[in-house]
């Protein structure tokens, strides 16, 4: 395969930027290696430079896989690289939407994708009123956050009041806005569907004894066959946020599948063996197809 990409008779340069090498990055590097393509891994903590130029310590690349742990770091890097001609997956606009639960909900609603009702409030009193209107139990979340951190369930007004009071006292950006949803009785199970290049390629169920089913909190992953329904909702959610590499989290409810969130930096360490689908391999093929396409489209060439 090496040397066969693009119209210039050379391989496009692909860079992976992340915060250290997690199992996903390891699997991606290996998937590229198997295709005889070097994936240049860069630790985001090494990156610096003037915004008027390509960042230092990042090889010049046509395509950059943005996988920083921090939402804002990822968005900043993506914007910076895009400004200097790189194609970033996912693009900054997608990362901005997916990293912000309110923005994701607005995008899903805008495209008519089935999702949970969600409210936003900025103060203690308005938060209480939003909770009263939603009804209890409800779930409170920081607008920006992941791995289930700082996500709480309020069974009644007193619990909500305490949470809102704490958020106000602690302050800082995670608590500047409160995102509230009705609590969905999931039985400790949600579905994660992987969408690559518009196609749902695999899915898992995450099971937990806790109502939060993040694998980072100990939930167990099992493979879930992708049926027409699941593929349709997951692919519509990916399209709504314009994401080409996303993991869509869904709840199974009596009203059908509802999208809870869309992850723009997908984690799949527990999903390859459980699904039997070579997720990093499919990602690598997708990224290389994009890169070759970019060379053909006359994107800025690098030497």
Ligand X SMILES: Nc1ncnc2c1ncn2[C@@H]1O[C@H](COP(=O)(O)OP(=O)(O)O)[C@@H](O)[C@H]1O
211 binds ligand X (CB under 6 A): yes
Judged by CB under 6 A, which of 1, 147, 170, 256 binds ligand X?
Answer: 147
Q: For residues 45 and 149, which CB has a smaller minimum distance to ligand X in the complex? A: 149
Judged by CB under 6 A, which of 80, 261, 264, 282 binds ligand X?
Answer: 261
Assigned token pair, 232: 């349709």
Q: Distance (Å, rounded) from C-alpha 57 to C-alpha 23?
A: 23
Alpha carbon 189 to chain centroid, angstroms:
19
Q: Residues 157-196: x/- map of binding to ligand X (CB under 6 A)?
A: ------------------------x-xx-x---x------
Q: Beta strand pairing status for 14-18 and 63-67?
A: parallel
Rg (CA), the chain: 20
103 binds ligand X (CB under 6 A): no
Assigned token pair, 114: 């089935």
119 binds ligand X (CB under 6 A): no
Q: Distance (Å, rounded) from C-alpha 163 to C-alpha 153?
A: 9
Cβ burial 230-243 (10 Å sphere, 16+ → b, else e)? bbebbbbbbbbbeb
Candidates 45-53, 140-148, 231-239, 277-285; binding stretch for ligand X (CB under 6 A): 140-148
115 binds ligand X (CB under 6 A): no
267 binds ligand X (CB under 6 A): no
68 Rama class: left (phi>0) / alpha (psi -120 to 50) / beta: beta
> Measured at CB, which residue is nearest to ligand X?
213
214 binds ligand X (CB under 6 A): yes
Judged by CB under 6 A, which of 71, 212, 224, 286 binds ligand X?
Answer: 212
Which residues between 244 and 273 bind Mg ion (CB under 5 A)?
A: 249
Q: For residues 70 and 301, which CB has a smaller minimum distance to Mg ion in the complex? A: 70
- Beta strands in 124-185, from DSSP E residues, in sequence order: 138-142, 152-154, 178-182
148 binds ligand X (CB under 6 A): yes
223: enclosing H helix or E strand? strand 220-223
Min separation Cβ 265 and Mg ion, Å: 12
- In angstroms, how far apart are the furthest CA atoms of the chain? 66
Which residues between 212 and 251 bind Mg ion (CB under 5 A)?
A: 249
Task: Enumerate the β-bridge partners of residue 193.
Answer: 203, 248
Instruction: Please choose which of ligand X, Mg ion, none residue 116 contacts, taking the beta carbon within 5 to 8 angstroms, the exact cut-off set by kind.
Output: ligand X
Assigned token pair, 303: 């030497």
Q: For residues 5 and 212, which CB has a smaller minimum distance to ligand X in the complex? A: 212
Binding residues (CB under 6 A) for ligand X: these are 116, 139, 141, 145-149, 151, 181, 183-184, 186, 190, 211-214, 249, 260-261
């Amino acid at each position: 395969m090496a040397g066969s990409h693009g119209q210039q008779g050379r391989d496009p340069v692909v860079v992976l930027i992340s915060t250290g090498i997690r199992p996903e990055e390891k699997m991606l590097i290996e998937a590229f290696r198997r295709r005889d393509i070097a994936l240049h891994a860069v630790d985001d903590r090494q990156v610096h430079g003037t915004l008027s130029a390509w960042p230092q310590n990042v090889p010049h690349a046509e395509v950059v896989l943005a996988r920083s742990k921090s939402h804002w770091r990822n968005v900043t890097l993506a914007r910076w690289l895009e400004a200097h001609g790189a194609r970033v997956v996912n693009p900054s606009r997608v990362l901005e939407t997916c990293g912000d639960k309110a923005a994701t909900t607005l995008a899903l609603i805008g495209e008519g994708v089935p999702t949970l009702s969600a409210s936003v409030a900025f103060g203690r009193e308005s938060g209480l009123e939003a909770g009263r209107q939603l009804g209890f139990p409800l779930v409170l979340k920081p607008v920006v956050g992941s791995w289930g951190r700082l996500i709480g369930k309020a069974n009644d007004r007193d619990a909500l009041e305490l949470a809102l009071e704490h958020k106000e006292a602690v302050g800082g950006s995670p608590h500047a806005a409160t995102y509230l949803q009705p609590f969905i009785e999931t039985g400790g199970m949600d579905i994660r569907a992987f969408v690559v290049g518009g196609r749902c390629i695999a899915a898992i169920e995450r099971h937990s004894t806790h109502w939060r089913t993040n694998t980072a909190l100990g939930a167990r992953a099992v493979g879930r066959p992708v049926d027409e329904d699941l593929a349709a909702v997951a692919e519509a959610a990916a399209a709504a946020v314009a994401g080409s590499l996303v993991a869509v989290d869904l709840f199974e409810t009596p009203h059908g599948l509802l999208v809870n969130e869309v992850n723009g930096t997908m984690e799949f360490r527990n999903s390859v063996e459980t699904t039997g689908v070579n997720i990093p391999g499919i990602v690598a093929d997708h990224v290389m197809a994009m890169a070759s396409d970019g060379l053909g489209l006359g994107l800025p060439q690098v030497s």
